[in-house]
Structure 1
Amino acid sequence: MGLWIDVARVSTALNVLLLLGLSYVWLRNYMQFRSKQTLGLSVFALLLLGENALAFYVYTWDQMRAAWFATAVPPVAWHAMLALHVLEFFALSFLLWATWD
């Protein structure tokens, strides 16, 4: 299970970095244009940033919950959560690429 926790840590850390970049661009655009769309994208990015930061915290520093994930969570659920983190990384990468262009 150690490899899967490492993959989860890396993917959530990368998601946090990508969301920081997206938040920067979208908040800067909101300050310039004051449109509801950029405000909505900014709020979305900040909420998703909070979710990924919490997941990274649980996988990295909260030893009690990290041990629980490693031992008590059924493998099928753990693999599904991991797959969502990895898919989210690819979705955010594409979104950042499209936004930065």
Structure 2
Amino acid sequence: MQAQIQLAALLAGVNLVCLLALTAVWARNYRRFRTTLVLGLLAFAVAMLVENALALYFFFTMQSLYSGDPHVQQAVLVLRALQLVAVGTLTYATLK
């Protein structure tokens, strides 16, 4: 696996950890408050969890999908990094 794709896979793993924390907090909050806003946040976290889990699966099982073009690898890495910034900021604000 190429270095950029390995880094993208690592970032997807970090995103998963953050999203697991968000899911736990928002699930607890939904059980307590029963608001549609918290339910929406919980649905968002679950959807992003599934997306990142599938990304990790594809990184490790379909390496040929990303290995051909270095521009694609760089784009995937940048997108994973941007997602980490967004999810990391949201995790920080939620846990604070």
TM-score by length of 1: 0.88
Query: Aligned to 2:74, which of 74, 79, 82?
Result: 79
Q: How many residues align?
A: 96
Instruction: Point out which structure has higher relative CO (alpha carbons under 8 A, 6+ apart).
Output: 2
Structure 1 alignment gaps of length 5 or more: none
Query: Aligned to 2:64, which of 58, 62, 67?
Result: 67
Q: How does 1:4-23 map to 2 (within 5 A)?
A: 4-23=4-23
- Residue 35 of structure 1 corresponds to 35
Superposed structure 1 runs of 4+ greater than 2 Å apart = 74-78
TM-score by length of 2: 0.93
Please give the root-mean-square deviation of Cα atoms over the aligned residues, in Å.
1.2
Query: Aligned to 1:94, which of 74, 89, 94?
Result: 89
- Residue 50 of structure 1 corresponds to 50
Structure 2 alignment gaps of length 5 or more: none
What percent identity do the matched residue pairs reach?
A: 36
